[in-house]
């Protein structure tokens, strides 16, 4: 092989190394989830005639407000009206009641949006929702979410708000979209689109400030192709769930 050929060979190999490095960097950066600055939880029901406008507002927030994590938590307490909500969970009904108990107002209704775990507003009143979003305090925790072949990993770093002792790190599995034909009840005959529907919510651990990493085996989560994942870091005490101080979100397939 001549000198020119050897140089060309070395240049080719160098180029491959550079390309590999770029690919690796892209893969690594793609593994970390986005970090929203605010969280909106919509408590909604397929059996509630007042809920479709709030469901549509939630969809607009998902599309327009990239710094806001908006999720739906369908409740089951209207099922007795004649239609069993196909997305609802008693876990979400209990979460909504726990919020009300902590606030002390006993205000449980649909559609209700809870902003950053604290203030609640009627979920169909866009002006009120956006005003509540504007009043939120900045998160005190940074959250990095990564998913490998075997593990879901959340790294939380920051400080607890003054007076808080512990926060729960929650993992959420989210269905990006669901289109439901409602056969009975107040919305009978309607086809309603739901976005960012929480399907699973479970604690990963307790965070007391500083930098800490939490892991879960991915095999236990029953992740599906359309699953979106999120992490919430939420202050909790004997009174119930309170302020959300950190969050991250990603589509789980991008975690490889």
- Residue 221's pLDDT band (boundaries 50, 70, 90)? low
Say if CB 157 and CB 142 are below 8 A apart: yes
Output the six-digit token pair for 247. Answer: 């969050």
Query: What is the mean pLDDT of the segment spanning 122-150?
Result: 95
The Cβ of residue 181 has, within 10 Å, a number of other Cβ atoms equal to 10
- Rounded to the nearest angstrom, the gap between the alpha carbon of residue 178 and the centroid of all alpha carbons in its chain is 16
Q: Using CA atoms, how far apart are residues 176 and 256, in angstroms rounded to an integer? A: 19
Averaged pLDDT of the chain: 86
Which pLDDT score, from 0 to 100, does residue 7 have? 45
Q: Above pLDDT 70, what percent of the chain?
A: 82
Helix (H) or strand (E) holding 134: helix 126-134
pLDDT tens by residue, 27-86:
333 345 689 999 999 999 999 999 999 999 999 999 999 999 999 999 999 999 989 999
Helix axes 126-134, 52-64, angle to 10 degrees: 40
> Is residue 2 situated within a structural domain?
no
What's the rounded mean pLDDT across residues 126-133? Answer: 98
Q: Which tokens belong to 161?
A: 């708000």
- Answer whether residue 5 is part of any domain: no
Say if 61 falls within a structural domain.
yes
The percentage of the chain sitting over the pLDDT mark of 90, rounded to a whole number, equals 73
Please report, for residues 83, 155, 169, 206, the alpha-carbon distance to residue 248 in angstroms, rounded to integers and kept in the order given: 34, 10, 11, 16
> How many CA atoms are closer than 13 Å to the CA of 246, on its beta-carbon side?
28
Provide the domain count of the chain.
Answer: 1
In this structure, is residue 218 part of a structural domain?
yes
In a domain, 6, yes or no: no
* Average pLDDT of the segment spanning 191-207: 96
Cβ–Cβ contacts within 10 Å for residue 22, how many?
Answer: 10
Q: Looking at the DSSP assignment, which residues form a beta bridge with residue 142?
A: 157
pLDDT in tens, 142-193: 999 998 878 899 999 999 999 999 999 999 999 999 999 999 999 999 999 9
3-state DSSP assignment of residue 208: coil
Domain holding 202, by residue range, is 33-255
CATH number at residue 232: 2.60.40.10
For every residue of 4-44, DSSP letters joined together read HHHHHHHHHHHHHHHHHHHHHHHHHHHHSPB--SEEEEEE-
């Amino acid at each position: 092989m001549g000198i020119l050929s050897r140089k060309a060979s070395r240049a080719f190999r160098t180029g491959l190394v550079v390309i590999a490095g770029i690919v690796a960097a892209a893969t690594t950066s793609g593994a970390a989830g986005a970090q929203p600055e605010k969280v909106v939880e919509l408590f909604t029901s397929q059996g509630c005639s007042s809920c479709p406008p709030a469901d549509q507002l939630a969809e607009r927030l998902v599309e327009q407000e990239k710094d806001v994590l908006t999720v739906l938590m369908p409740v089951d307490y209207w099922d007795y009206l004649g239609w069993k909500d196909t997305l609802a969970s008693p876990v979400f009904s209990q979460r909504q009641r726990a919020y009300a108990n902590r606030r002390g107002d006993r205000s449980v209704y649909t559609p209700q949006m809870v902003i950053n775990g604290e203030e609640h507003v009627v979920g169909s009143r866009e002006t009120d929702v956006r005003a509540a979003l504007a009043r939120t305090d900045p998160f005190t925790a940074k959250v990095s979410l990564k998913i490998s072949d075997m593990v879901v990993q959340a790294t939380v770093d920051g400080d607890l708000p003054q007076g808080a002792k512990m926060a729960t790190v929650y993992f959420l599995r989210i269905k990006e979209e669901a289109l439901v034909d409602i056969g009975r009840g107040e919305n009978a005959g309607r086809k309603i689109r739901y976005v960012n529907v929480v399907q699973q919510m479970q604690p990963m651990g307790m965070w007391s400030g500083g930098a800490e990493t939490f892991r879960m085996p991915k095999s236990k989560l029953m992740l599906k192709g359309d699953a979106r994942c999120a992490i919430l870091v939420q202050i909790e005490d004997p009174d119930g769930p309170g302020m959300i101080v950190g969050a991250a979100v990603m589509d789980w397939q991008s975690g490889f």
